[in-house]
């Protein structure tokens, strides 16, 4: 089977799931395990939040509400880049069962757990606890056997 423009991850997933093609475009019908979909959703949600915070910081900076303009601009750029990167990992890596998508997803969850603990200890449990819960759910989903099988089984 030849897969057009998708790399070997798409070909592997199509072969394992009995694929075929959708409308003759060379894209297989893929049945993803629930754990892989949950992992992609968690990473995408984190990406949307980071991107949204980057936009919020950028708007405040442009509106002149930032005391340190260079710092605020850097924070805006960081939020936008991290958000876009996580969305790319979720869509381009995890949903397509590409092997490379798991490492940045796992690292993100590992980094977010202590961030959530710090936020909780800073007196903001309404923000910290959901972050910890999302990170744990994402980590469990990324390391679950069905996700591993979908991404690495040959």
Tens-digit pLDDT profile for residues 71-107: 999 999 999 999 999 999 999 999 999 999 999 999 9
**Domains contained in the chain, number:** 2
Q: Are residues 90 and 139 in the same domain?
A: yes
pLDDT in tens, 27-67: 554 679 999 999 999 999 999 999 999 999 999 999 999 99
- DSSP for 48-76, please give it: HHHHHHHHHHHHHHHTT--SSHHHHHHHH
Residue 19 has what pLDDT?
40
SS3 97: coil
- Distance (Å, whole) CA 33 – CA 50: 26
Q: Are residues 85 and 70 in the same domain?
A: yes
Q: Is residue 152 part of a domain?
A: no
Q: Are residues 40 and 20 in the same domain?
A: no
Residue 122 has what pLDDT?
97
Q: Are residues 57 and 111 in the same domain?
A: yes
Q: Is residue 25 part of a domain?
A: yes
Q: Are residues 45 and 94 in the same domain?
A: yes
Q: Are residues 87 and 20 in the same domain?
A: no
Range of the domain at 15: 1-31
Q: Is residue 149 part of a domain?
A: no
Q: Residue 140's closest CA among 46, 45, 34, 39?
A: 39
Could you tell me if 72 and 64 are in contact, meaning their C-beta atoms sit under 8 angstroms apart? Answer: no
pTM over 0.85: no
Q: Are residues 43 and 17 in the same domain?
A: no
pLDDT band at 154 (very low <50, low <70, confident <90, very high): low
Instruction: Between 85 and 26, name the one with better pLDDT.
Output: 85
In whole angstroms, what separates CA 47 from the centre of its chain?
6
pLDDT at 22 over 60: no
């Amino acid at each position: 089977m030849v897969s057009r423009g998708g790399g070997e991850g798409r070909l592997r997933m199509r072969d394992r799931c009995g694929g075929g093609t959708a409308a003759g475009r060379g894209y297989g019908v893929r049945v993803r395990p629930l754990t892989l979909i949950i992992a992609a959703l968690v990473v995408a949600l984190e990406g949307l939040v980071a991107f949204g915070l980057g936009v919020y910081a950028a708007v405040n900076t442009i509106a002149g509400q930032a005391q340190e303009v260079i710092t605020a601009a850097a924070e805006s750029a960081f939020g936008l880049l991290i958000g876009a990167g996580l969305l790319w990992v979720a869509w381009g890596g995890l949903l397509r069962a590409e092997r490379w998508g798991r490492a940045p997803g796992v690292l993100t969850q590992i980094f977010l757990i202590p961030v959530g603990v710090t936020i909780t200890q800073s007196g903001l449990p309404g923000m910290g606890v959901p972050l910890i819960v999302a990170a744990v759910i994402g980590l469990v989903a990324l390391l679950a056997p069905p996700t591993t099988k979908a991404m690495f089984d040959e």
